[in-house]
């Protein structure tokens, strides 16, 4: 299965498909940090929100690179369960690479600053909260991108619709006052938490919410894969 993960990542890179989401991520990060300097926790919280649809799109592209015939051959070689798990793992590795770029980027362009007033979070605490916010978004974004992949929905138009609805819904439903915020991953709630005073209980609750949401969406992806092969 490790060889299959490596093969999918290699195909994603060598075909040049990785370039589009990378450039999109750099554009949104450049726009985000171009407006002035922010403290790490607040900046990273917003960064996790804007990168959520980028990572989901990146996941869809990665899973769509492999031809259908090759995917079925992989199922025969390693088994259906391992083939599907290998795709999710490859997408997860690519997502973590994007997160690494997002965490490093603001320091390169001078987009972050240290504590300004008494009571502001220290830089290490802010970076830790920012890392948490990005890692919280990763499984949800990978799950959404997998659900939007060609192997799951069939047609390209359906995949775009899933990505658009999921990305917009994550922001709209996550806004304060939404009647059903649990229908979306808690990326907006995480951003608000990093900008305020997070407690351990809040971090655990949001992490559990994100993992539960991701598990449901991955379940939908696996169910759709049974229908499409």
For residue range 85-144, list pLDDT tens digits in order: 989 999 999 999 999 999 999 888 887 887 777 777 788 888 899 999 999 999 999 999
Residue 217 or 194, more confident: 217
For residue range 142-191, list pLDDT tens digits in order: 999 999 998 888 777 888 888 888 888 887 777 755 666 778 899 988 98
Q: Averaged over 18-28, what is the pLDDT?
A: 91
Band of the pLDDT at 228, cuts 50, 70, 90? Answer: low
Structure tokens at 133: 């916010």
pLDDT at res. 61: 94
* Cβ atoms of residues 78 and 86 within 8 Å: yes
pLDDT at res. 43: 87
Beta pairing partners, 112: 38
The domain total for the chain is 1
Backbone φ and ψ of 32, nearest 5° = -65, -50
Q: What angle do CA 157, 160, 161 make, to 5 degrees?
A: 85
* Number of residues in the chain: 229
* Cβ atoms of residues 53 and 163 within 8 Å: yes
pLDDT at res. 139: 96
Alpha carbon separation from 200 to 189, 197, 207 (Å, rounded): 14, 10, 11
For tokens 């290998």, name the residue.
86
Q: How far apart are CA 208 and CA 228, in angstroms?
A: 30
pLDDT at res. 229: 60
Q: How far apart are CA 215 and CA 82, in angstroms?
A: 17
Distance, CA of 147 to chain centre: 13
Domain residue limits at 209? 2-228
Alpha carbon separation from 127 to 38, 52, 110, 142, 190 (Å, rounded): 12, 18, 15, 22, 14
């Amino acid at each position: 299965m490790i060889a299959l993960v490596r093969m999918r990542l290699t195909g994603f890179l060598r075909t040049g498909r990785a370039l589009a989401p990378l450039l999109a991520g750099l554009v949104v990060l450049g726009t985000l940090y171009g407006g002035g300097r922010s403290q790490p926790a607040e900046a990273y919280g917003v960064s996790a929100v804007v990168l959520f649809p980028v990572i989901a799109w990146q996941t869809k592209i990665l899973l769509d690179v492999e031809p259908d015939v090759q995917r079925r051959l992989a199922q025969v070689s390693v088994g259906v369960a391992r083939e599907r798990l290998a795709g999710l793992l490859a997408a997860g590795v690519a997502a973590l690479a994007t997160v690494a770029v997002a965490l490093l980027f603001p320091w390169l362009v001078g987009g972050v600053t240290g504590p300004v007033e008494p009571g502001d979070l220290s830089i290490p605490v802010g970076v830790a909260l920012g890392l948490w916010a990005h890692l919280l978004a990763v499984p949800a974004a990978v799950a959404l991108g997998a659900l939007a992949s060609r192997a799951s929905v069939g047609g390209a138009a359906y995949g775009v619709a899933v990505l658009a609805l999921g990305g917009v819904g994550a922001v709209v439903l996550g806004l304060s006052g939404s009647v059903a915020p649990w229908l979306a991953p808690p990326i907006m709630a995480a951003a608000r938490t990093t900008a305020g005073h997070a407690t351990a209980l809040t971090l655990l609750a949001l992490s559990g919410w994100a993992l539960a949401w991701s598990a449901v969406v991955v379940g939908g992806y696996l169910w759709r894969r049974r229908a499409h092969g």
